[in-house]
Structure 1
């Protein structure tokens, strides 16, 4: 039977990031502008878009968690290179980090999906390497995400127990107590992260606001309340000492020590990818999400440097802070330059901010798990990709990540260097995932990249080159142990290469043995029509003609062929 009416899909009022105005086509329903862009990328809208630019930024800034992140990684930032690494070292690191953030934001504007970097790697990689690029990016990003909440919660649990030690000097926290307290916090976060999206947005707005306010209070309170003069010291250390003295915290030359101290900067500044993973829950995603990425990185970089300066100018004894029986260098540092009540107040602010950060990390991790499971990247993907009918959130993914995080916390019983591997993993795994699609875009796609409405224009490739160079330099540096020669033992070894490299090696073996046969990267789960440049536009009345579009033209991640009928109103 002939169709009674037809129209070209090209006439649909859609703004798309695909070439030549490619658009999704759903003859059975209506899409918002955001949903049309998502469907054009091959995905069915499954979440409510209840995040705005501000609330997305709030989650991202909460995940960034400047104050608790700085407190948790002070051992590395100050312990490897001292105050020099904290002052001008932070500025050098931020050049590379900001380049990564801006390049990522450009990808997010072009491809605003929960899969984020994983999706970008798949569709940008040359044929037939898209699935493998997605596999490596996905697993690396997932490792960063799943270790984020346990590492953050370990840090705040250690601060809680350090506070107890300050009030009662005879109390020395045990590993067992630290483990149980951290697990308790993990369970609270998993429960909260199972709430509906609207509740999560409101909770994280409050938490992020507190995080920012607490940061400002601490930046002001430390220099204003320091009692260094009462201890026979100048109110602030001389600038020549702060900027020019490199602490002998490693066995390597000073330049390498400064680079090694970047682990604190990189881990602290690794939460700005959250807007990418929340893009399917954000309104006006291909503009709001990239803006949230850049805003988070820029704001975090600036205020993080202010915090670094405050600590660098007020620290009294670096070795004493690192080796204190309190078990938490930040708490030990505060005890050196502030009255006890002020110390407890700052620790309280940091713990509350850290609680918000840990919860934001768990939300972001669950979205990543959901997105990858949706494409069968994980074992038992059918379980992890389920969206709860009541909350409309991936509750199974939340609790799966929580369980894996608790297993990671068993590293507490291996000592400080073992649990410290969680922080190194977070830094390396995150930035490898961040940079893989950027590298493909810069060196393979080049000027053929299809930018979204937020883009870097002619600066896109130069900024991407800086981002890639920075990460290629830092990945091996972050695997260096702090000592060499005869001092290098199992206890002083940097186990990052094992704890990160082990799972990634297994993932690659899995790919070679099995996954390459069935994993095709991001998959289309909605019937849609992509208008390309091959003349697949319906003109005039042409009864029963079907159009077949090859999946390969949209990127390395698709291997299927979608057949769609373009006659509107056609009877079966």
Structure 2
């Protein structure tokens, strides 16, 4: 090979980042040394070692990253939006048992995801991990399926949250004006208005977005604590609380399936509520000390959210008196119906107002997380017209085009509200199943195919990693078919009671797979390296330390880009 030691690339001052010293699992092969013409801090060395340029300002900390993910979690509005699935399927016993059982397994998934995040802190998140960890030749397909499933789950989050928020706002109007009955058109138009406002906020500079979510997340915590105190203290029912034996054992099965299946069906509310813990993964390129702070934020979000969410389940389970009245209320919003059932009207309106404010913060957090996913996948040309969606606005230094794209798609999806509550409810099931599939693919590959080739990051599960990941995989294998079940069967099953998750999620995913086999497999290669790096021969490779320019040998070659073939570096 001809010597390139006289190349201009070697003459300019360069700082190098070696994948062997950065504690990352990268698409770059061992010995590939990314470099830049400026001094790099520790965070930039990590992202460079993963094959990407530093394009965002790192203005998120552990706290603000946790705040975004906790805002996306939005325990109070999420619980309010999905109360129907817990209480409506299996009564109070389904609520309290369903949440705590599901949370044990969800925490396993969150910890396994955090381990991946520490080793690969990129905004591509699970998509990048699936590509790197897949067996040789399978990386692009694994990334393709994971990326599209994750993206579908992400872009349905903000529309579903904003729809529930609009319904709550109009339900508050119905409470104060009993003669007013919201129409589907009014709910739709209010949802669109909220999405437009969220689009504007999510397009602001990173620092302002982080501040907004910090305030919103703080308010979420305060509102949740207030709700946990006010409902038991101010309940107007006599007696105040339902006996414990009834709360924990009374499975009010309102499905055509056995009690055990009905309890499993309540998990859709838990899964949808808790799906926001992956947000720190997607924000890791904007977070300082990302390979430690981001995984910690994932585990904190899942753990704190799980515990506080269960307390909320207990409060509602011990105070509700008539489940049928809550589910079948003309208000069209079970949470508002429940509050009116157990609290005086003014107190009910106060808690509903807190829930609405929290829901607004949650919807905005969902839009921010989704825009980062869209940007990351567009950066690797996953979408048609990717060159537009991957642009970073020069003024705000945020992916504004990706925000706008997601907002437009969300407004289109919200048209489902015009077809009725069952149709729009599919957005919640899609979000749960799409995220679950995306979460578990890289974890499954890490547990069953990678073995000792996985290079752990500074935050890891040690020898317990495969076991914890395997438990999470088993839970997903059980829950995916459960999430697709309708509540009724046989002669009772009509189109308006059908669970359309299989069609609304399965249809696009089937189209994506057909696209892969017909055309995409020819040009899609997974994550694309966009940093300059030196490729060194295996037998003549210089010693490289972080921040030290290596000696260039006759065997060194410089390249500005590289494609990944699905093979994990050995």
Range class of TM-score, shorter chain? over 0.9
Q: How far did 1:547 drift?
A: 3.7
Matches within 5 A, 1:143-182: 143-182=152-191
CA offsets 1:74-118 (integer angstroms, 9 cap, x no match): 010110111111112211100110000000000000000000000
| 2:532 is the alignment partner of 1:527 | yes
The equivalent of 2:547 in structure 1 is none
Q: How far did 1:550 drift?
A: 13
Tell me, in whole angstroms, the C-alpha distance in 1 between the residues paired with 2:295 and 2:406.
Answer: 26
The equivalent of 2:68 in structure 1 is 59
The equivalent of 2:91 in structure 1 is 82
Tell me, in whole angstroms, the C-alpha distance in 2 between the residues paired with 1:496 and 1:294.
Answer: 28
Matches within 5 A, 1:296-445: 296-445=301-450
Whether the 8 Å contact between 1:14 and 1:36 is mirrored in structure 2 is: no
2:484 alignment partner, SS class = coil
Whether the 8 Å contact between 2:19 and 2:30 is mirrored in structure 1 is: no
| 2:514 is the alignment partner of 1:504 | no
Q: How far did 1:447 drift?
A: 2.5
The equivalent of 2:48 in structure 1 is 39
The equivalent of 1:515 in structure 2 is 520
Tell me, in whole angstroms, the C-alpha distance in 1 between the residues paired with 2:373 and 2:127.
Answer: 9
CA offsets 1:147-185 (integer angstroms, 9 cap, x no match): 000000111111101101011111100000000000000
1:271 alignment partner, SS class = helix
Whether the 8 Å contact between 2:31 and 2:541 is mirrored in structure 1 is: no
Whether the 8 Å contact between 2:368 and 2:403 is mirrored in structure 1 is: yes
CA offsets 1:406-450 (integer angstroms, 9 cap, x no match): 000000011111000000000000111000100000010022211
CA offsets 1:266-294 (integer angstroms, 9 cap, x no match): 00000000000000000000000000000
The equivalent of 1:564 in structure 2 is none
Alignment coverage as a number of residue pairs: 555
Tell me, in whole angstroms, the C-alpha distance in 2 between the residues paired with 1:2 and 1:98.
Answer: 51
Tell me, in whole angstroms, the C-alpha distance in 2 between the residues paired with 1:248 and 1:180.
Answer: 35
| 2:27 is the alignment partner of 1:17 | no
The equivalent of 1:240 in structure 2 is 245
CA offsets 1:233-292 (integer angstroms, 9 cap, x no match): x11001111000111211000000000000000000000000000000000000000000
The equivalent of 1:129 in structure 2 is 138
Whether the 8 Å contact between 2:81 and 2:335 is mirrored in structure 1 is: yes
1:391 alignment partner, SS class = coil
Q: Out of 445-454 and 406-415, give the one that drifted further.
A: 445-454
Gaps of 5+ in 1: 560-572
CA offsets 1:307-340 (integer angstroms, 9 cap, x no match): 0000000001111100100000011011111000
TM-score by length of 1: 0.93
- Going from structure 1 to structure 2, the CA distance change for 1:508 and 1:519 (only over 3 Å counts) comes to same
CA offsets 1:536-568 (integer angstroms, 9 cap, x no match): 226997764424799999771799xxxxxxxxx
TM-score by length of 2: 0.93
1:219 alignment partner, SS class = helix
CA offsets 1:316-375 (integer angstroms, 9 cap, x no match): 111110010000001101111100000000000000000000000000000000000000
Choose which of 221, 226, 231 in structure 1 pairs with 2:230.
221
Tell me, in whole angstroms, the C-alpha distance in 2 between the residues paired with 1:531 and 1:305.
Answer: 54
The equivalent of 1:546 in structure 2 is 556
Gaps of 5+ in 2: 545-549
Whether the 8 Å contact between 1:62 and 1:204 is mirrored in structure 2 is: yes
Tell me, in whole angstroms, the C-alpha distance in 1 between the residues paired with 2:391 and 2:14.
Answer: 36
- Going from structure 1 to structure 2, the CA distance change for 1:27 and 1:545 (only over 3 Å counts) comes to farther
Tell me, in whole angstroms, the C-alpha distance in 1 between the residues paired with 2:117 and 2:309.
Answer: 24
The equivalent of 2:211 in structure 1 is 202
Tell me, in whole angstroms, the C-alpha distance in 2 between the residues paired with 1:530 and 1:113.
Answer: 22
2:363 alignment partner, SS class = helix
The equivalent of 1:292 in structure 2 is 297
Q: How far did 1:48 drift?
A: 0.3
1:25 alignment partner, SS class = strand
Q: How far did 1:535 drift?
A: 5.1
CA offsets 1:175-228 (integer angstroms, 9 cap, x no match): 000000000000000011000000001111000000111000001110011000
- Going from structure 1 to structure 2, the CA distance change for 1:177 and 1:444 (only over 3 Å counts) comes to same
2:498 alignment partner, SS class = coil
Tell me, in whole angstroms, the C-alpha distance in 2 between the residues paired with 1:522 and 1:27.
Answer: 20
Tell me, in whole angstroms, the C-alpha distance in 2 between the residues paired with 1:162 and 1:438.
Answer: 41
1:26 alignment partner, SS class = strand
CA offsets 1:10-69 (integer angstroms, 9 cap, x no match): 899963324898674325222111111111111111000000000000000000000000
- Going from structure 1 to structure 2, the CA distance change for 1:228 and 1:347 (only over 3 Å counts) comes to same
Q: CA RMSD of the aligned region, Å? A: 2.5
